[in-house]
Amino acid sequence: MKALLIVDVQNDFCTGGVLAAKGGEEVAPIINKIAPNFDLVIASKDWHPIKTKHFDKWPPHCVQETHGAEFHSDLNTANIDLVALKGTGTIDDGYSAFEATNINLISFLKQNKITELYVSGIATDYCVLSSALDSVKEGFKTFVVTDAIRGVNVNPNDSEIALQQMKEAGCILIASEEI
Ligand code: VGL
C-alpha cells in the first residue's frame, strides 16, 4: 500500500507568508491531482506554540490556531485522511512529520500496511528533507515528488543540496506525471 505525505502546505510557507518558499502554493494543484492515486493521504502541519526555542532561529510562523498555520486554500483538503501536527512543543524544531505529537505516524502507517511513502510539500530544504530521511530510516520505500516540493533557500543552493542528500540516503526522485 502506498501513502502520500503532504508536508506543511500552510499559508506561512506560501507567497505572502512570513517564511515563504518561492512559489510554495504552486505545489497545491499538483498534489490535488496525484492524491487520488494513493491508499492513504497524510498532511503535516507545523503547529507551534507562541513561545518556542524554534523562534530563536526563525521568525514566528505557523503559530497554532492562526491564519499562517492554516493549509493554503488551493490545497484540496477533502483528499486528506489524517493531519499530523508537529513542532508543538517549546523546544523542538519539529522539522519531520515523524515527530508529530497528535499521532504516532510510524504505527499509523504500519497499521495501514503502508510500505511506500511519497513525500511532497514545503520546504524541500527543511521539513521535506527531514521527513524523507526519517521515512527511509523507518524502512519505507521513499519517493520524493520533485515538482511538488519547494524550498526556503536561505542559501540559494539549499534545495539542490537537500535533493542530493535525499537521493544519497536512498530516496527515489520522481515527477508527478510518472505517478
Ligand atoms: C520549515 C523552516 C522552519 C519547513 C519549518 O516547514 O520546512 N522550514 N520551520
pTM: 0.98
What integer pLDDT is reported at residue 19 of this predicted model?
98
Helix (H, G, I), strand (E, B) or coil at 42: strand
- Domain coverage including residue 80: 2-178
Number of domains the chain is built from = 1
Please tell me the distance between residue 161's alpha carbon and the centre of ligand 1 in angstroms: 16
Average pLDDT of the residues in 55-67 = 98
- One-letter amino acid for residue 101 of the chain: T
pLDDT in tens, 17-49: 999 999 999 999 999 999 999 999 999 999 999
Cα–Cα nearest to 132, from 168, 156, 80, 179: 168
CB-defined site of ligand 1, < 6 Å: 8, 13, 19, 46, 58, 122-123, 126-127, 152
What integer pLDDT is reported at residue 132 of this predicted model?
99
Please tell me the distance between residue 96's alpha carbon and the centre of ligand 1 in angstroms: 9
Q: CA-to-CA distance for 170 and 95, rounded, in angstroms?
A: 19
pLDDT in tens, 78-118: 999 999 999 999 999 999 999 999 999 999 999 999 999 99
What integer pLDDT is reported at residue 128 of this predicted model?
99
Please tell me the distance between residue 99's alpha carbon and the centre of ligand 1 in angstroms: 13
Task: Label residue 170 left, alpha or beta by phi (over 0 means left) and psi (-120 to 50 means alpha).
Answer: left
Question: Could you tell me the CATH number of the domain that includes residue 15?
Answer: 3.40.50.850
